[in-house]
Structure 1
Amino acid sequence: MSGMFKLSVQNLLRHRTRSFLTMLGIAAAVGVLFSVFSFNRGFEHGLAREMQATGLHFMVVPSGCAHEVAALVLHGAVIPKYLDTGVMEAIRAADGISLATPILVAQLPNPDRQRIDLIYGVETDLLPEIKPEWQITGTIPGDPHEILLGYNVAEHAGIQPGAQFRYPNVDTVFTVSGIVGQTNSQDDAFVYMPIATAQRLLDNPTGATAIGAKVDSPERMGTIINELEAVIPGIQIVTMGQVMNSVANVAASAKSLSLAIALVAVVIGAVGVMNSILMAVFERSQEIGMMRAIGASRWNVFQIILKETTILTIVGGVTGIGVAMLGARLIETFVRRIMPYVPSGDMLRFDPGLALACVAFAMAVGLMAGLYPAWKASRINPIEAIRG
């Protein structure tokens, strides 16, 4: 350890409480900054992963808001508009369509279990293509009286494959043919059944919330969509890329606000460093004057003060990232409650490059904050300082 570095550490330890509080401000700023950038990166990767997992290229829905379509595609939101499944014939007949299935998402009261179930009606034989990443215990429903339960529905009710499942005021007794393995997404909260069964339960024999479709050649998707919109009136076709952009735009305002808060926190931390070091300079005026009197140059004094700010910002930055990772679960839980949509999976993960960049940024800001106190200390007149 060099002499000037050792002296800088000793100077900081003289006022442990003040140095600790200053370091805490830097830690908070860097922790927030790291969390925001890490979450944004995790959000983008998670969104892309979930879009790929849908197994569909586009959704046909009633004309309306693209945000509603995004909510339907990504986490099965209930949309209060219906398509007539009669349009299926025209969609399947279109050149280039390899798969098309109606989807009916709705709520169904279940007083016996004191809850409202989320029903997801679909052509169940196509589930392996629509949800290719699912791991199912049991089998996919192959009978109108069979259903497939999401992980959370089965877990909370203690239901196993083969169990009976009833709804009040519905004569049919359903058999649970299988249970979807945990996906950590909204898929865990649904009761899946054949589309015809869902239509009968909801007394809407030709209704569908949307129609999901895949194409043979993705490069022809634009042409296929234009042809369908020209043939079928009153529909809106949204591609998975458009859904991704829609969700990203909804989340952009929250992410921008978080980034602004992080930058403000960094500025406040820098001001705290400047204030702390400046106070130390004023308190040590006689000491600095004595150093100058016995041969220390202005550059030596400047270096000592600047090293103190460097130590504070580096230690504070590393501490902030450590705290952010320790509290990652808590941060994610909070964000998921306030944001309209967050992909499944871990959003906050340790990225060495990102961590290093955040610490380097904080150190740069801290060094700039330390320039004035260092300059002020180097300008102290040794004779005036010794006189007091």
Structure 2
Amino acid sequence: MSWIDLLRMSASNLKRRKLRTFLTVLGVVIGTASIVVMVSLGLGLQKSVYDEMEQSGGLTTINVTGSGSVGDGMMHSSNSDNSDKSDEASKYIDDNCVKKFGELEHVKAAAPIYETSAICLKGKYEGYISLYASTPEGLRMRDIKLADGGTFPKSGTGKLELVYGNNVLTNFSERGNNSSGYWETGELPDIDLMKDSMFMILDQDAYYNSQSSGGFQVDAGTDGKGTSNVPQSAKKHIVTASGVVAGGVDDYNVNSYYVFCDLDTLKQIMKKEFKGRVIPGQPSTKSGKAYKEFYYSSAQVKVDDMSNVNDVAKQIREMGYNVETNVEYMDSMKKQMAVIQAVLGGIGAISLIVAAIGIANTMMMSIYERTKEIGVIKVLGCSLKNIKQMFLIEAAFIGLLGGIVGNMVSFAMSGAINMVTAQSSALGVEGNISYIPVWLVLISLGFAMLVGMVAGYFPALRAMRLSPLAAIRSE
């Protein structure tokens, strides 16, 4: 018997028992859809982690921090004076450290990073922002995707230009009314980040003190001579935008809530404004004096190849600095993702196992109903191998049809999940939380067919072993 004849007979047998075939296929559909959707959730989470990793520099980037934190919440160091710093203070990251990092073997580039906070004012609105300052090269290493018409801040102009994150406006509210922000009202402030200029305040202590005292400084420090060393009112710097991070207010990415600027320009402005005082976030001596050097929150080191990342990281650690690499993070995440996918896939596989039992039951019932038919085709000379193949093809048909429909259902469910989670920004995950690649579709189809054939194997063996004479005589 040819393969065409076997296929025709198998299809005909399934058509004759439409309801039973439909119910059996439905079980495969549910099982396939369950396992595909469950695995897609794990893949979506993994993809979002990898995408975020690329935005933070990729697998060849090393993030370096010193032994003491620099930036918001900076604590005073235990050094007694400005000229005789201890070894602990030398582990802060300055220009000399960044230069040394850049001279290491296999290092393509090293860029300093300074993170601080500021206040932006526009009309009746006030917003708290997180400033991320770096060199032009450092900002490019960040892999920031800008909206149309945007450019990165220029260096050496003396004018502070900003790149706003696409979610920065959600941090604005009407001054004196904290309940008027986006998260309370659902409405964004009437500000065009790209076109409108703003006032930016770096000296937040002076700003809040002036607000509480009606413009008069009430809690200023002194320089030891009885005179205030903090201005009575905070200086307002006029800033404009050079770009905005691509995406809407509901699109989250690793850059969404940052405001980026040129590091050299910010340093010049801060040194001028805080002349004779400690710049907020910078370390100071035990007596409260400022150091001559400007220290950075961290440094980003770009390595020429992923295979050299661990060696470079080891050298920097030996220099006394703290190191985090995306390679180490990825290895850790791979292990976690493998466990998550195994659990989710296992949950979905249970449904497919139930479907396999349904296929086996259907095939066994088919054999009992077609006992005489099996005896006749055996007497007519059909080989045992062909009989076995016929039942296996029927089982494979059920698995294939269930797999195809199951994948269609999976895409519909995945789209619905992504639509719902996009509305609520579930888990803070960028992009789709459910991701179905082509290879998952192909594997699920093959797996559904395999499950069908395995479930139909023992019924096919029973059909093959039936005695022709006994089968013909059966009622």
TM (normalized to structure 2)? 0.60
Q: Distance in 2 between matches of 1:289 and 1:254?
A: 50
Q: Report the equivalent of 2:318.
A: 230
SS in 1 for 2:192: coil
Q: Report the equivalent of 2:256.
A: 189
Deviations 1:77-136 (A, max 9, x none): x999999894224521423363222243779899x9999966242226445422345235
Deviations 1:30-77 (A, max 9, x none): 3455556677777767655654443472112468xxxxxxxxxxxxxx
Deviations 1:160-193 (A, max 9, x none): 4132457896664664402122396524521314
Deviations 1:256-291 (A, max 9, x none): 212323443433332221122222333444554565
| 1:321 and 2:398 aligned | no
Q: Distance in 2 between matches of 1:218 and 1:377?
A: 58
Q: Distance in 1 between matches of 2:303 and 2:116?
A: 23
Q: How many residues align?
A: 370
What is the identity percentage for the equivalent residue pairs of Structure 1 and Structure 2? 19
Return 5+ residue gaps in structure 1 as ranges.
Answer: 64-77
* Partner residue of 2:93 out of 84, 87, 90: 87
Q: Report the equivalent of 1:242.
A: 328
Amino acid at match of 1:182: G
Amino acid at match of 1:348: Y
Q: Distance in 1 between matches of 2:42 and 2:333?
A: 13
In terms of mean alpha carbon deviation, does 309-318 or 219-228 score higher? 219-228
* Partner residue of 2:281 out of 180, 196, 204: 204
In terms of mean alpha carbon deviation, does 134-143 or 338-347 score higher? 338-347
Offset at residue 138 of structure 1 (A): 3.8
CA contact (8 A) 2:364 2:459 kept: yes
Offset at residue 216 of structure 1 (A): 7.3
Amino acid at match of 1:121: Y
The 3 A distance-change label for structure 1 pair 383 and 243 is closer
Q: Report the equivalent of 2:286.
A: none
* Partner residue of 1:162 out of 183, 195, 198: 195
Greater share of residues in helix: 1
The 3 A distance-change label for structure 1 pair 344 and 113 is farther
Q: Distance in 2 between matches of 1:144 and 1:247?
A: 41
Q: Report the equivalent of 1:348.
A: 435
The 3 A distance-change label for structure 1 pair 36 and 236 is farther
Alignment of 1:23-172 (within 5 A): 23-34=25-36, 50-55=52-57, 57-61=61-65, 86-94=92-100, 95-96=103-104, 98-104=109-115, 119-123=130-134, 125-126=136-137, 128-132=139-143, 134-136=145-147, 137-141=149-153, 146-153=161-168, 157=189, 159-165=192-198, 172=236
The 3 A distance-change label for structure 1 pair 58 and 188 is closer
* Partner residue of 2:301 out of 195, 208, 213: 213
Q: Distance in 1 between matches of 2:38 and 2:72?
A: 31
Offset at residue 249 of structure 1 (A): 3.1
Q: Distance in 2 between matches of 1:21 and 1:208?
A: 66
Q: Distance in 2 between matches of 1:377 and 1:242?
A: 56
SS in 2 for 1:212: strand
Q: Distance in 2 between matches of 1:326 and 1:174?
A: 50
* Partner residue of 1:179 out of 230, 240, 244: 244
CA contact (8 A) 1:26 1:266 kept: yes
TM (normalized to structure 1)? 0.71
Offset at residue 208 of structure 1 (A): 6.4
CA contact (8 A) 2:66 2:93 kept: no
SS in 2 for 1:104: strand
SS in 1 for 2:343: helix
Q: Distance in 2 between matches of 1:385 and 1:229?
A: 83
SS in 2 for 1:162: coil
Q: Distance in 2 between matches of 1:261 and 1:131?
A: 38
The 3 A distance-change label for structure 1 pair 81 and 301 is farther
The 3 A distance-change label for structure 1 pair 86 and 273 is same
CA contact (8 A) 2:403 2:448 kept: yes
Amino acid at match of 1:87: I
The 3 A distance-change label for structure 1 pair 51 and 290 is same
CA contact (8 A) 1:46 1:343 kept: yes
Amino acid at match of 2:316: L
* Partner residue of 1:308 out of 389, 394, 411: 394
The 3 A distance-change label for structure 1 pair 105 and 48 is farther
In terms of mean alpha carbon deviation, does 223-232 or 14-23 score higher? 223-232
Q: Distance in 2 between matches of 1:115 and 1:251?
A: 41
The 3 A distance-change label for structure 1 pair 279 and 227 is same
Return 5+ residue gaps in structure 2 as ranges.
Answer: 78-88, 171-187, 209-233, 284-294
The 3 A distance-change label for structure 1 pair 209 and 253 is farther
The 3 A distance-change label for structure 1 pair 185 and 227 is same
Q: Distance in 2 between matches of 1:114 and 1:281?
A: 77
Deviations 1:189-239 (A, max 9, x none): 213144769999x9534586643233578776555534433333xx42022
Q: Distance in 2 between matches of 1:134 and 1:93?
A: 28
CA RMSD, 1 decimal: 4.8
